[in-house]
Amino acid sequence: MALPGWKQLVRGGLVLEPGNSVENKTGTWRYQRPIIDWGICTHCMLCWIYCPDSCFMVENSKLTGIDYDHCKGCGICAHECPVKAITLIDELEARKEEEK
Amino acid sequence: MAEVMERKGEVKALEGDMAVAEAMRQINPDVVAAYPVTPQTEIVMTFSGFVADGLVDTEFIPVESEHAAMSSCIGACSAGARAMSATCGPGLELMWENFWIASGLHCPIVMAVVNRALAAPLNILTDQTDMMASRDTGWLQIFAENHQEVYDNFIQAVRIAEHPDVMLPIMSGHAGFVLGHTLGRLEVLPDEVVKEFVGEYRPAHSLLDVDHPKTFGCYDDHHYYFEHRYREHVSMKNALRVIPEIGQEFGKISGRYYGLVEPYRLDDAELAIVIIGSGAGACREAVDEMREKGMKAGMLKVRCFRPFPADEIVKALKDKKAMATMDRAEIFGAEEGAGPLYTETCSAFFNRGILANIIDYVYGLGGRDTVPSEFCDIFHELSKIARIDEIKPPRIRFLSLRE
């Protein structure tokens, strides 16, 4: 994708559209991926509270998954999970598996 | 000859610092954040008196340091306010990191700088090291020769900085003590004329525009930072056009017209001195004295250093046989200790393919007076160079320095 030139950019780097950080796919920074073992998870929501990037998706008071577009793989969720339902796996290995 | 031109202002005797405070009162900015530092204190002192007396609507922020003063101005400016400050010497250096933020965010902050030497050794007197050391920070820089210009420059600075094609902060410099603390004659325009000239500040984007929330100063990575900083260069280039335009417009209300540079008896001159700021007064006398003796001497006063008016300087000087740039600041470690006016003037000539006889004088550091006879000596030196069309080293000289 071609990035905009200086003529197209807002002077001073101001951000004029509020809430646009969702467009910044910080998930590309990740080198380890958290995965949830649904057989163990109790839906206590501690991961949802601790996640610094609000990546835990919830529906009807139940955890439904992780937003990998924005998860940076910091591992706080795995560290905090009281029942050890979250493990971190190697991101590159995981991608290779997906491509198979 | 009797004055034929109608006087447009009231003649007053004011100290240079008070002339800034008076201009500030007439402009009536939204926010002034400043910290007192010799020899700028009089500006803060006088203006805070205006605030206490209810003569202005300004929110005056008595900050705990110059760093906080500049931070406050950036915040106020981002909120949509017309923000101003004043400082000098070490106070200016304490603002340093915020200079880059002010220019990077395109905050048109107007700041008076009462030029002061930097310690150590401790010195509170005037030279231009403070402003010259910050010449690369993205701020516009103009300098005054006398009390009238101190007042006139400060008013024009508002319009220059806030021009939509520029939108950059500006330093309006004048010499500490020599102009700042001495009484001078100047014409002060009527309040309503100044008010109309500066108009209202209407920023395109402001944080207080709550219907359109936005972010100022967020992280800018390698994909965008370069393009955003380049925009400052474009604004600087635009300022080369805008500064004389505002100078002409100011002429219409005051009778005093301003450009980027100001020649004095330069047209038919063969020898020229190039100088910035208050030293031009003594240099002017020397030009007159040498002219009386039959020497074709002239002067080019550089009013605006940022952006550097390379075209105007070369155009004014290209046919001179010998010239001297006067630097009241030093770049330590530059070739032979040359000053910034010299290096940039030489580069302007070189880039236009012109070989010229240019020497540099570093002078007047730490408030040392430079008198007309010293400028006459320089003209004699230039005359020798012109005669043989060759500069015998050194090219960089230190005026009246004791061995």
Would you call B106 an interface residue with chain A, using a CB distance cutoff of 8 Å?
yes
Tell me the three-class secondary structure of B217-279, residue by residue.
CCCCCCCCHHHHHHHHHHHHHHHHHHHHHHHHHHHHHHCCCCCCEEEECCCCCCEEEEECHHH
Give per-residue pLDDT as tens, B263-274: 999 999 999 999
Assess if residue A25 is contained within a domain: no
Residues from A contacting B (CB-CB < 8 Å) are 3-6, 9-18
Assess if residue A20 is contained within a domain: no
Range of the domain at A88: 38-92
- Let me know: does B69 contact B47? Beta carbons within 8 Å: no
- In CATH, the number for domain B261-398 is 3.40.50.920
Domain boundaries, chain B: 10-254, 261-398
- Assign residue A85 the CATH number of its domain: 3.30.70.20
| Helix/strand/coil for B111 | strand
CB-CB under 8 Å, A15 with B220: no
CATH 3.40.50.300 for the B10-254 domain, yes or no: no
Minimal Cβ distance to B214: which of A4, A11, A18: A18
Please count the structural domains in chain A: 1
Reading chain B (403 residues) residue by residue, the pLDDT tens digits are 344 566 789 999 999 999 999 999 999 999 999 999 999 999 999 999 999 999 999 999 999 999 999 999 999 999 999 999 999 999 999 999 999 999 999 999 999 999 999 999 999 999 999 999 999 999 999 999 999 999 999 999 999 999 999 999 999 999 999 999 999 999 999 999 999 999 999 999 999 999 999 999 999 999 999 999 999 999 999 999 999 999 999 999 999 999 999 999 999 999 999 999 999 999 999 999 999 999 999 999 999 999 999 999 999 999 999 999 999 998 899 999 999 999 999 999 999 999 999 999 999 999 999 999 999 999 999 999 999 999 999 999 999 999 9
- Let me know: does B360 contact B330? Beta carbons within 8 Å: no
Give per-residue pLDDT as tens, B2-48: 445 667 899 999 999 999 999 999 999 999 999 999 999 999 999 99
Minimal Cβ distance to B227: which of A6, A15, A16: A6
pLDDT in the model for residue B1: 39
| pTM, rounded to two decimals | 0.93
Would you call B220 an interface residue with chain A, using a CB distance cutoff of 8 Å?
yes
Cα dihedral across residues B279, B285, B288, B293: positive or negative: negative
Cα A2 to Cα B124: distance, rounded to the nearest angstrom: 53
| Helix/strand/coil for B346 | helix
CB-CB under 8 Å, B105 with A9: no
CB-CB under 8 Å, A16 with B212: yes
Minimal Cβ distance to A11: which of B106, B213, B214: B106
Locate tokens 């400082």: which residue?
A: B87
